[in-house]
Structures are given as structure tokens and as C-alpha cells.
Chain A
Amino acid sequence: MFRAVTTVDAALRALDELGPGAQVIAGGTDVMIQRMTGSLSKSEPLVHIGRISEMRGVSLGSESITIGALSTHRDIRTDPILAAHLPSFVQASSTVGGWQTQEVGTIGGNVCNASPAADLGAPLLMAQATLVLVSSGGERRLQAADFFLGRRQTALEFGELLTAIEVPIPAPGSWETYIKIGRRSAMEVAIVGLAARFVVDGAVSAARLAFCSVAPRPMRVPDAEVSLVGTMLEDEAIAAAGRLCASAVSPIDDQRATASYRTSVVPRLVRQAAEACRSELV
């Protein structure tokens, strides 16, 4: 069964009606493959939300930026608000698949699919985004840190729809990036991804480091972040933060890379990000 809806209300009614087996599909770039390969059951109904226009687009508020869950990677990649305030989101979406995937794949899908390697997971966590979850019973808001529960596990409940992602506008003096490691220059599932932000006011007043693909869910490394506060991103400070990150991650061996490679790349990524920031801001 394929139920196409064009409003949030209709989507929620469909989910309530079809019950817990219903699968929400937007761009389909993950759901269709999972149904073909048997990771998702083909006999369960599909609720197609791809045309709910109220769930697409980026808007700038006074304190936060709202990204509709159906904003595609292409939308994000080319959005001037995000380019100005949240470049790590732009960079992350630019690395998801090829153009074809970016045209239909959505930030909401990337997040709800909750692959440990999901590129957008890292910037969401880093930017302390809030996820807006709506059901027929009302709305609840969850911090990204509380949304990702594990490998392909989220706090999303049956009947709930992720409609939007709200991201606080970064403080003045913020610098951020998303760096992805893959074997080739494109079309890669992240071997490791790092979303980093440094708020610099003379010295570093705040730092955030969030990784994907090094644990069952995206993770921050608070110790390392704290260790950078008050520094000028000196080489030793970067190295120390890198070491803390390396000891915090718990990657696995898979067909793309070994755990030890992932661990050895982590501090190098921290250094690349911090050095890039230093050369611009410090």
C-alpha cells in the first residue's frame, strides 16, 4: 500500500490508521533500498510524505534557524541562510551521495534512518539542534542528543513525525566545519565524520566536537571540548583534544575501514579542523 499525503495532519491520520508497521517515505533513497534488500518488510504500507510543502524549507528566526524535515540535501547545500550561519550543514549535505540522491534525499530521512554513518547526525549534535516531533496527540521537542538512541534507533515513536529541526543561531565569533573521511572524493558512506565548532573571542570560549561513524550513534566528546576552552588552539592543545577524542570513540571494523584506522584518523581530523579555524580566526 502506498498512501501519498500532502499535509502533516493527513500524514498523522494515515500513521494512526495504518498502525505501527507503516513506513514513512520521503525521498526513498534509504527506504526503497531497505525494502528491496529485506531490511524493511515489503508487505508493510508506505506513507509518502515527500509532497508536504509545509515541511520543506529553511527559515531564519530571532534565535534559531528552522530547517523543515523535508528539506533535501540539495536545498541545504544551496541555502544562503545555512551558508551564512551553519556551513557545517551545507558541507555535510554536500557529501551525501551524488546529485541524484541529494535532489530527493532529505535531512529528516537522513536523521530518522539513524545510520551510525549518517552525515547530518554530527552537525545536528554539534549544533545542539532540537527535533520537533509531532503526533496526533501533540508535539514534543527533543534535543538531538536525546533523539539518537543507537544504531538505527531513535526516540521517534509510532505515530510520530519529525517535522522540523531547530538550530540555535551560533554565537558571534563561531567557526564551524564538517569534514568527512571516505576512500573516494564522493559517493562515500562516512568512514569518520567530524562536525566541529569553535567560538573564538581572543581565545576559544567554547568548542564542540561531534563525530559520526565512530560509535553506534553520533557522539560528542565533552572532555575534549572543555580542554580547548581558554586555549588559542595551540598545537599542544589541539593534540591533547585529539587524544581525548581518540580515547572516547568506540568504532568497529567493517567493510569500509578498520576500527584502528578510524581511531587513528580521529585526532588528525580534530587537528585539521582546529588548524583551519586557527588560520582564520585566532
Chain B
Amino acid sequence: MQLEFTLNGMVRRLDVEPDETLLDVVRERLGLTGTKEGCDEGECGACTVLIDDRPVDSCIYPALAVEGLAVRTVEALSAPDGALSHLQRAFVDRAAVQCGFCTPGLLMTLTALLESNQNPSSSEVDDAIAGNICRCTGYSAIREAVRRAVEEVSA
């Protein structure tokens, strides 16, 4: 079936199967492998993308349901000139990345958080990323990176 949607600002038109997930389309068909598949069941959040600015687990989201909508993935977080977003920069500088497999999903969820709440409390951050599992860091550096990004934006 025909699907037309906007991916990272570019209109994409392609044929997809009814059961294809948004993750399949992004990774396999369109070759953007920054979005990761961790669990195939909407538990780990590694596959989080933004659909019209809302975080969604793309591994269990039917691709055809994004008809006409705007999808953003990790590849779209940096500025057109390549500069990292404040959040990406803070993840790098505050050592919020270890293996990095959860990182794209976390960045998407936290980008949605910071776009809707410029100064989230620590518990709001923890609550926002309850659906993003990081097995490496123990979350502390991620919290610190969010604080750093908030400071950078308000500075």
C-alpha cells in the first residue's frame, strides 16, 4: 500500500505492507539505522521516534498510521550545518553515552520533553524516560546531561 509521510523534513513516498512497522520502514527501507531495535515489544524505547513531536515506539507502530504525518529520527537532531543539538552536546560532554544503543531513543524522548517543558524537574526527567531502558549508565549521567542541556539553552 502507498504511504506518504515526512521523514526528517523530506517527503517520502513508498509502498509498504500492512504489518510493516515504522521502524522497519525507517531502518530497512529508507536506510536510516540510527533508530535501534531492542525488544520488538515497546518495552525498551531504543526505537523511539517523534511523530508530530510526540515520542512513539516505532517497533510496534504500524507504518501506514503515519500517513501525512511528520516523523523525526535521531539523524535529524543536529542542525543543518551539522552542529549537535544542546542535548546531543550534553550527552557527549557529560558522558551520558556508553554503549550508545539506547542513546538515539533517549535523545528523541528527551528532545520531546525539552520541547514541551523547558525546565523539567529531576522526577519529570525520570518519569519521561521510564520507557527508555539504559543497561550501561545507571541513568545518573543522563540526568546530568539533561540538566546541562537545560542550562545551555537558558544561558
Residues of A near any B CB (own CB < 8 A):
1-2, 4, 25, 28-29, 32-33, 35-36, 42, 45-46, 48, 50, 74, 97-101, 103-104, 185-187
Contacts and interface: CB of A to CB of B under 8 A. Distances in A.
A4 B67 contact: yes
Interface in B1-51: 1, 18-19, 21, 40-43, 45, 48
Interface residues of B, number: 28
Nearest to A103: B54
A99 B131 contact: yes
B88 interface: no
Contacts of A45: 18
A99 B130 contact: yes
A48 B109 contact: no
A97 B61 contact: no
A128 B152 CA distance: 50
B64 interface: yes
B18 to A, nearest CB: 4
A101 B128 CA distance: 11
B81 interface: no
Contacts of A104: 54, 56, 61
For B1, B61, B112, B131, the residue with the greatest tally of chain A CB atoms inside 10 Å of its CB is B131
B103 interface: no
A215 to B, nearest CB: 25
Contacts of A99: 55, 109, 112, 127-131
A197 B42 CA distance: 32
Nearest to A186: B130
